[in-house]
Structure 1
Amino acid sequence: MSASLSSARSRAALRASARISVELLLVLVMTAVALWLLGRMWSVVWPLIVGLLFTTLTWPVARFLRRHGWRPALAASAVTVLFLLLAAAVVALIVVPVASQSGELTDGVVDGLHKVRDWAAGPPLNIGEAEISGAVDDAVKRVRESAGNMVGTFVTGVSTVVDGVVTVVLAVFLMFFFLKDGPRFLPWLGRQLPGRLATDVPTVAARSWDTLGSFVRLQAAVGLLDAVFIGIGLWIVDVPLVLPLSVLTFVSAFVPIVGAMFAGFVAVLIALVSNGLTDALIVLAIILVVQQLEGNVFQPIIQGRGLGLHAAVVLLAVTLGGSLAGVVGSLLAVPVAAVVAVFWNYLREQLTEPPGEQDAGEPRTDGAVPS
């Protein structure tokens, strides 16, 4: 009897394992298909993403105008025009000078890497030339590609100027419609979906929007503060290329942890090549002080609460995003991971809380752009 029970239990366990394996395989296949479709539709998806990012930055102004009696179309138009004026000013005053100095910035970083190689080959480290030549050459190649891509991404948004202009134009039009009609989206979406989906999908979408907006506004504010303080420090030490380094610091802030390390590394290398070891150490100290202020003062004041992602998850997400899609993947990795975390947390709530006791599943009525 016990042998038959054990055999039946084993067969049941094998059937359960097989069913779980098949379901997991189906999930992986569907994920691969979704990623393939995303790649095929990237020319449409990328402007949509950029438009959403623009909207997260401009929605607080549009919301303020709407609350003070402005009609949605008028508020969206005013914010869009103001955004275009600010963008034109940024291009004229910052992007063009930065683009003109991008080659000098890249050359300075490469010279710094060679100088570090020469220092490591001498006393007291005495590291063999063969041991570091390959690593330095690979780093030089990556710096040339990454620095060029970083500046190119900031200037054009994509790999070519034409695609960048098209992307920005589409993103601005989408931003206008998001600002104008966004609050009506979630109620409309809830009416189109059947059953539980009418509650679950709008709720997850609203939470994802809150998370995305919080991330973009936080990183923009913290990146601006970092760029200003580090730029002032570089100017005081008389390090060249202050403006490009400040812009690089701001852009790198949108890649948490890794971006700050990369921007600081570039600034120290430029100071080492142009001013010498003493000024490079001073620049390193300035960057460390600013990073400490960011982590212990700026972020707690601006952010209030984090995205709920562990630092290890952020590092893994940035690494995976960079390996899959380069600089664009690194920029989008953390927001995507945060949205996935929102979905997972909501799913866990639905699976653990009794239906009658949960209030997270009620549909929002204030629209796609939460207050």
Structure 2
Amino acid sequence: MLLVLLMTWVALWILGRAWSVLWPLVIALLLTTLTWPLARFLRRHGWRPGLAASVVTVLFLLVGAGTVVGIAVPVAAQSGELVDGVVSGIQQLREWAAGPPLNIGDDQVSQAFDAAAAGIQNSVGSVINVTLTGVGTVVNGVVTTVLAIFLMFFFLKDGPRFLPWLTRQLPGRLAVDIPTVAARSWDTLGAFVRSQALVGLLDAVFIGLGLWIVGVPLVLPLAVLTFVSAFVPIVGALFAGFVAVLIAFVSNGPTDALIVLAIIIAVQQLEGNVFQPILQSRGLGLHAAVILLAVTLGSSMAGIVGSLLAVPVAALVAVAWNYVREQLSEPAREEDTGEKSPPQESPAAESPGAESPAAEPA
């Protein structure tokens, strides 16, 4: 037991030291599961692996750029109205604060602004440090994204050769066990990404419909932002909801902003407690309660990254456990019946790792 605990600690320490490399690798794997069906379709219709991977990567970049443009252009086109709405919203807040029960006068507001300005001036060093930290985070994010896209291209191009190569490198029974678990894990990651995309689509449709009924502007960009942010647990939903409520406040007033806030809370509760557990439990073979507990544990241990990776990690652990259980139960069945069970076909026949390199064009 002490040896197992020591090896676990060493493995976690190595993962922590190599996280700058592992994080782009994880993102690339998730992106590959999302784009692999199109690459597989092109390869099956005679496209060479490099050409298919290049086309899919370029299309992915175009979709990403189109999403950014689809959000930024309408916002820029209505920036004047948004600025006027912000000024009007601030004036409404001052008028509301001046009345009962707060009865805050203009002199008190001015004193509050002066105190805030003095506090900012006194903490210039802290502001600079926070700014530099934010800039460093943005730079690291850009580097991670670029590296993940390059890795995604190579996974799309050479992914089917990985499992045959891994089979040749491993000795004995490991040459069968590990590639089988890897193929099943690939299918599980694909199910996770597809279920997450479906959950994000449901969020975008319901929230966008609510914004359209209330009469909030920029419905389409807000719906697209909701769909994209659904892939980032907790923070993504909070950010998209904050933007929607802010735009509703500055354009339609506080009443519509409260209505939009109620719609977003209702949809998020429905998504977090109904849609996401049900869809992910069906796609990943995990009970909804297990998914909720995994997300809670992951977020408490590693924050946003932990909540993002909690469900796929739990699903991969379940895949490995199910395979071990199958292998341990096979000898008992053979002893009881006196017959050898037929070999099981891997369910990952459609995954990148399941294609034979001999079937690929040279």
Match of 1:64 among 41, 53, 56: 41
Q: Is 1:305 the counterpart of 2:282 in the alignment?
A: yes
Q: Is 1:320 the counterpart of 2:297 in the alignment?
A: yes
- TM superposition shift of 1:95: 6.8
Residues 221-240 of structure 1: CA deviation (Å, up to 9, x unaligned) = 33123213312311321347
Q: Equivalences for 1:1-371 in 2 at 5 Å?
A: 23=1, 25-94=2-71, 160-239=137-216, 246=223, 249-251=226-228, 253-254=230-231, 280=258, 284=262, 288=266, 305-354=282-331, 356-357=340-341, 359-360=343-344, 368-369=352-353
Provide the C-alpha distance between the structure 2 equivalents of 1:170 and 1:79, rounded to a whole number of angstroms.
Answer: 16
Alignment length (residue pairs): 296
Q: Using a 3 Å threshold, how does the CA distance of structure 1 residues 83 and 224 change in structure 2: closer, same or farther?
A: same
- Match of 1:19? none
- TM superposition shift of 1:303: 7.8
Provide the C-alpha distance between the structure 2 equivalents of 1:228 and 1:248, rounded to a whole number of angstroms.
Answer: 11
Q: Using a 3 Å threshold, how does the CA distance of structure 1 residues 250 and 221 change in structure 2: closer, same or farther?
A: same
Q: Using a 3 Å threshold, how does the CA distance of structure 1 residues 316 and 364 change in structure 2: closer, same or farther?
A: closer
Residues 163-203 of structure 1: CA deviation (Å, up to 9, x unaligned) = 11111111111111111111111111111101110000000
Provide the C-alpha distance between the structure 2 equivalents of 1:98 and 1:337, rounded to a whole number of angstroms.
Answer: 39
Q: Using a 3 Å threshold, how does the CA distance of structure 1 residues 312 and 70 change in structure 2: closer, same or farther?
A: same
Provide the C-alpha distance between the structure 2 equivalents of 1:254 and 1:186, rounded to a whole number of angstroms.
Answer: 28
Q: Using a 3 Å threshold, how does the CA distance of structure 1 residues 285 and 47 change in structure 2: closer, same or farther?
A: closer
Provide the C-alpha distance between the structure 2 equivalents of 1:182 and 1:324, rounded to a whole number of angstroms.
Answer: 32
5+ residue gaps, structure 2, are 91-100, 102-133, 335-339, 356-362
- Give the residue type in structure 2 aligned to 1:48: L
Contact 1:318 / 1:330 at 8 angstroms: preserved in 2? yes
Residues 102-129 of structure 1: CA deviation (Å, up to 9, x unaligned) = xx9xx9xxx9xxxxxxxxxx9xxxxxxx
Provide the C-alpha distance between the structure 1 equivalents of 2:57 and 2:190, rounded to a whole number of angstroms.
Answer: 17
Contact 1:186 / 1:367 at 8 angstroms: preserved in 2? no
Provide the C-alpha distance between the structure 2 equivalents of 1:260 and 1:88, rounded to a whole number of angstroms.
Answer: 19
- TM superposition shift of 1:310: 2.0
Provide the C-alpha distance between the structure 1 equivalents of 2:270 and 2:297, rounded to a whole number of angstroms.
Answer: 27
Percent of matched pairs sharing the same residue: 65
Provide the C-alpha distance between the structure 2 equivalents of 1:165 and 1:293, rounded to a whole number of angstroms.
Answer: 30
Contact 1:47 / 1:170 at 8 angstroms: preserved in 2? yes
- Match of 1:138? none
Residues 227-271 of structure 1: CA deviation (Å, up to 9, x unaligned) = 133123113213478567645643554478x78986897689769
Contact 1:98 / 1:243 at 8 angstroms: preserved in 2? no
- TM superposition shift of 1:96: 8.8
Provide the C-alpha distance between the structure 2 equivalents of 1:70 and 1:98, rounded to a whole number of angstroms.
Answer: 40
Provide the C-alpha distance between the structure 2 equivalents of 1:326 and 1:159, rounded to a whole number of angstroms.
Answer: 19
- Give the residue type in structure 1 aligned to 2:144: T
Q: Using a 3 Å threshold, how does the CA distance of structure 1 residues 214 and 370 change in structure 2: closer, same or farther?
A: farther
- Give the residue type in structure 2 aligned to 1:53: L
Q: Using a 3 Å threshold, how does the CA distance of structure 1 residues 357 and 271 change in structure 2: closer, same or farther?
A: farther
5+ residue gaps, structure 1, are 1-22, 112-121, 123-155
Contact 1:267 / 1:283 at 8 angstroms: preserved in 2? no
Q: Using a 3 Å threshold, how does the CA distance of structure 1 residues 64 and 175 change in structure 2: closer, same or farther?
A: same
- Give the residue type in structure 1 aligned to 2:343: D
- TM superposition shift of 1:67: 0.8
Contact 1:191 / 1:198 at 8 angstroms: preserved in 2? yes
Contact 2:216 / 2:248 at 8 angstroms: preserved in 1? no
Provide the C-alpha distance between the structure 2 equivalents of 1:244 and 1:169, rounded to a whole number of angstroms.
Answer: 25
Provide the C-alpha distance between the structure 1 equivalents of 2:4 and 2:33, rounded to a whole number of angstroms.
Answer: 31
- Match of 1:136? none
- Match of 1:146? none
